[in-house]
Each structure stands twice: as C-alpha cells, then as structure tokens.
A and B are shown apart, each in its own frame.
Chain A
C-alpha cells in the first residue's frame, strides 16, 4: 500500500533551511516493555527467572554477565555503565527496575569498594534513569540499615557498619530521586537470605553457612524463594502506585540461632545493645500480599538435620 509523505519547509533563525516530513500517522511505540533486574547475586537471578516464568520481558544487568534462561537479555557490567541504560532506552520501554546490585558481594573491609559499588554506582544509575524520565523501582536494601523514620524493626539504631551506612546513603538517594521525579519506589530491606548450595546453605554472597555449636545471634532469616517472591510482588505493587514510596521488612518474622560470625556485616554486632533481630512482616502482608512460607528455625533446623545425617 502506498504511503503518503507530507513535506513542509521552514527557515531556522539563522537562515538555514529545515524540512519537516511526516506520513500523517503518529508513530506507535513498538518497543517491548521490559523489567530491568540489576545484580550479580542469586536473588537477582531468582527474580529474573520468576518474572520470565510470568511471561514478562526481563533484561538483567549482571556484573559477571552470567546468562540466565529467565532473561530476555543479559548485559554484562555495572549499573553505572551509562551505555547499558542507553541501550535499554533505545531498545525497550522500561516498565520497572528491580535494583538488587546493592546486595552484590563486596569486601566490607574495602571502604572504597563498598562506597563505589553501593553509593557511587547507584548514583550513576539514578542519574541515568532520571535523564530517561525515571521508572517505577523496587530496590533491595538490607536489614543492617537503621535509623530512618519508618524503619519498622523493633530497635531504632544507627548503622553499625560502613556497609550499613552506605546502604542507608543509597536508600536516601533512592528516596530523593523518587520524590523529585515522582517515580514510585518500594524499598525492601531483606534479612539474612539463604539459598540451597550443595548439601547446605549459602548466603547471597555465595559463602557457605554452617550451624555452629558456639555463641549465637538470635536473628531472622528467610529462604531465597521467599525473598524472590517478595520482590515479584513488590514489582506488581509499585506498578499500582502513582508516586509514593514504601518500605518493607522482608524476613520470616521469626528467629533462629545463628552462629556468631556468620553475618559480619548483615546484622547488629557488638555494642548494639540488642542481639535479637526479627522482621516486622505486617506491612508486606498488608500491602504486598506477601508472607513467608518458611520459618527461620525451620530453615536452620533442616540444615542441622542434614548435617547430622552426614
């Protein structure tokens, strides 16, 4: 079918010629709608798989570039790589961003790495997103972040580690950008998240987690599947929001005895005055319709049973 072209000529202020062409029809958006999942950790991969199973188009930004069957596209690199966001902007329409790269493995003693990974790269991502007009966002933070107003854990303490302080800074920037650009934001503060590995469990950084007979912390924990489910539900939730932000504890809501030293940066330590940490899952139940399927003690009990049987 022949298509009609319309041409109009004008002069620019400096006398140069400009021609405007059109075919009389508005250009429909044909780009696929994509959910971007950031992170090089089991949580990110689990979320990508779960969203893929729902039939959603998922693009992953993974520092290691690990291919994932759940992802329509995997970009190898940091969230700070502006070119990746430009590619996404050119080739997709961004439905939402699920940012878990903030929980990627980093040496907590390397202050430069902690800052640049958490705050520096996070800021670069937020700047790029802002330039693109923003996007509904679900962001992962950690239960080692304390001290902001709507934090719902029983104790209201300042971060006790540099890692925690950096996550708190990132949270503040997420809120600032979200408020300024009116992007909906759900901030999920996850507790110790454990994934099956070999015959035992590992944390999000891939380190083995083993029960010990020595001194213990009473701390909440939850299995990876539960955490993944929380992020999937939070993504649906932010899509229903207009502009506001919300914070959720993501844990089992129960306690288990964990060996001292398992969580060097993941929970309260000496001087905190509290050795009991438990998620308040009420807001997540109420707003996300999410609740944990496993209790922390069950998770650890199963591991102990497996270890005993060996």
Chain B
C-alpha cells in the first residue's frame, strides 16, 4: 500500500510503499512478464502498444502509475522500432496524459523510461512508465517559477550547444549539465503539454528522439543506460515549455556517473564535462544516424 509522507524540513512529498520490494527482477531463466502469454502481465490479446496499471504502483488513488509496453516483442527497443511505431507510442503517451489528467487527484503527469538495468529497469522487455502524481514534484515546482514571466527555452541557442535542428524541434546540450552527455529535445514552438503537439510536430519529435537514442548507443558502443523523461506543464496548466530530457548514466570508458554525496545529500550536481565537449563528442554519432536514416527512408 502506498502512503504519502511530507518532509517537515522541505515540504517535499515522498511516496512510500513497503510492498514494492517484492517486484520481480528478470533474470536469465525467468519468463518475461511483458511478453504476451497466458500468465503474462499483458495477457494474450494481440497489440502494438499496451498500457496497464502497475502491479506495484508508486501511486494509486490519488494518483496512478502505468506501464507502457512498446511492443509485444521482447527485444523491440524504442530506438530501433519502425518510425510508424514510434509515432504510435507518441500518440499513446498523449492519450494517456489526457486521460490521467482527467482522473481526480492528478496534479502532474510524468512520462519516463528507465532504459537498462543500471538505471533501475527491473524487467528487460523495453517499456516506459507514466506517473500521475497527486502533487507537483519538487523539480517541476522549481522550474515553474522560472517560466512565470518569460520562457527560458524560447531563446536563441548558440550553435555550440545545438546537436541538431529540425523544423519543429532541436536537440541541445543543456548549459547547466546535471549528468554527463545530458541532452534536451525541445520543441521550437512554445507548447506546454504533449497533447498540444500537432501531427507533424509529433512525427519529427519521434524521429529525432530515435536518432538521439541510437546515437548514444553508437557513441557508447552499448545499449546506453539512461533516464528519458518528459517535463511538461502540470494538470492545472501553468506557463511552461515542454521538453524531453535524456540523462545517460554512462560517461564513457565503462564508467558510470553515480549520484553520490553532493547530488543525493544536497541536490547539488557536480559533472566532469562541459556542454561543448558533449556536443563535440556526440555530434558525429548523431550525424551518422541522420545519414543512415536518410538512406533507409521510411
């Protein structure tokens, strides 16, 4: 059972659930609970994308927690799905945001993927998650203050920070990196929520998201362990500019950026990189992926 406790020192809410310790962790011999089958979490009916309420929710009434299974096939990573399937996933996300925001008690909807075991994915089958928070999470609260009068994302971004520019989106390295190789996918239009995006914006956003994920894999030589997160306006709407945030835990050479003393205790990030280095290193891999995509076409 989930309970919410408020920290008397900061006013921040935390979700506590002692039952989540018994969540399954897929191992070599285990049958995948997200592959269709008689005893599977997703049942046996055919689907392209499945969304279900998490068996071990971080939030439930108020709030909710859902799992998004990107494909019935065990190895279908979002980065390598056909473009049409990636676009379908974007539509599913928008649909879920709409429905979850309608549920009583939802204050903010958060879409994310923990990609890889190193960042906490307990099931190997590629999937994402959606949290409908019954409160506005601390990071979003802080950011909302900076969007109240002007938009920090509606600005001219120097080329030294831009990895790629599309017609509707740009991939940029954040000036204040919190993780090595962190990248933002930002819509050029000032838009607060996923549901407000047009068809063409979704199409290009999905394409650039896939390109970036593949570029990470190419750069690191592995399926990169990262957190992919959607920052968007709360359910009650407030001035905001949505973005996807990609935070790889890898930092090259097999090393991992751990959140340790300063980050965990004080929320103060210390990173061994500068944004220009990130751009310089990732850009060739991203350019390669863009060229490959042009060759392959749809």
Contact = CB atoms under 8 A, between A and B. Distances in A.
Interface of A: 2-3, 5, 7-8, 10, 12, 14, 16-23, 25, 27-28, 30-31, 73-76, 82-84, 86-87, 89-91, 127, 131-132
Contacts of A76: 221
Interface string B253-280: 0000000000000000000000000000
A23 B88 contact: yes
Contacts of A30: 80-82, 296
Interface in B66-110: 71, 75-77, 79-82, 84-85, 87-88, 91-92, 95
5 contacts: A3-B91, A86-B124, A87-B217, A87-B223, A90-B126
Given A27-B48, A82-B28, A86-B223, A18 B77 contact: no
A27 B223 contact: no
B55 interface: yes
Most chain A CB neighbours (cut-off 10 Å) among B45, B53, B214: B53
Contact of A5 (B50, B81, B91, B214): B91
Given A5-B91, A5-B92, A18 B43 contact: yes
B49 A21 contact: yes
B43 A22 contact: no
A18 B52 contact: yes
Interface string B124-139: 1010000000000000
Contacts of A75: 221-222
B77 A90 contact: yes
B51 interface: yes
Given A5-B88, A5-B92, A75-B221, A21 B50 contact: yes
B197 interface: no
Interface string B177-194: 000000000000000000
A83 B225 CA distance: 11
A132 B48 contact: no
Interface in B189-230: 199, 214, 217, 221-223
A42 to B, nearest CB: 22
A86 to B, nearest CB: 6
B42 interface: yes
Contacts of A27: 48, 71, 76, 81-82, 84-85
Say what secondary structure dominates the interface of chain A. Answer: mixed
A3 B53 contact: no
**Contact count band on B:** 35 or more
Most chain A CB neighbours (cut-off 10 Å) among B79, B81, B223: B223
Nearest to B41: A12
Given A28-B82, A91-B223, A132-B75, A21 B48 contact: yes
A16 B75 contact: no
A22 B47 contact: yes
Contacts of B222: 75, 83-84, 87
A120 to B, nearest CB: 15
Contacts of A3: 84, 87-88, 91
Contacts of A89: 75
Most chain B CB neighbours (cut-off 10 Å) among A3, A14, A74, A127: A3
Contact of B80 (A28, A31, A84, A127): A31
A132 B32 CA distance: 12
Nearest to A31: B80
A282 to B, nearest CB: 41
Contacts of A91: 77, 79-80, 214, 217, 223
Contact of B52 (A12, A74, A127): A12
A12 B75 contact: no
Most chain B CB neighbours (cut-off 10 Å) among A20, A22, A132: A20
B28 A131 contact: yes
B283 to A, nearest CB: 19
A25 B223 CA distance: 27
Given A27-B85, A87-B217, A19 B75 contact: no
Contacts of B217: 87, 91
A12 B43 contact: yes
A86 B126 CA distance: 11
Given A8-B45, A10-B45, A17-B52, 10 more contacts: A3-B87, A14-B55, A18-B42, A18-B43, A21-B50, A21-B95, A23-B88, A30-B81, A84-B222, A90-B126
Contacts of A22: 46-49, 88
B80 to A, nearest CB: 5
B26 to A, nearest CB: 11
Nearest to B74: A89
Task: Please provide the 3 A-B residue pairs with the shortest distance between their CB atoms, ordered closest to farther.
Answer: A18-B52, A20-B47, A89-B75
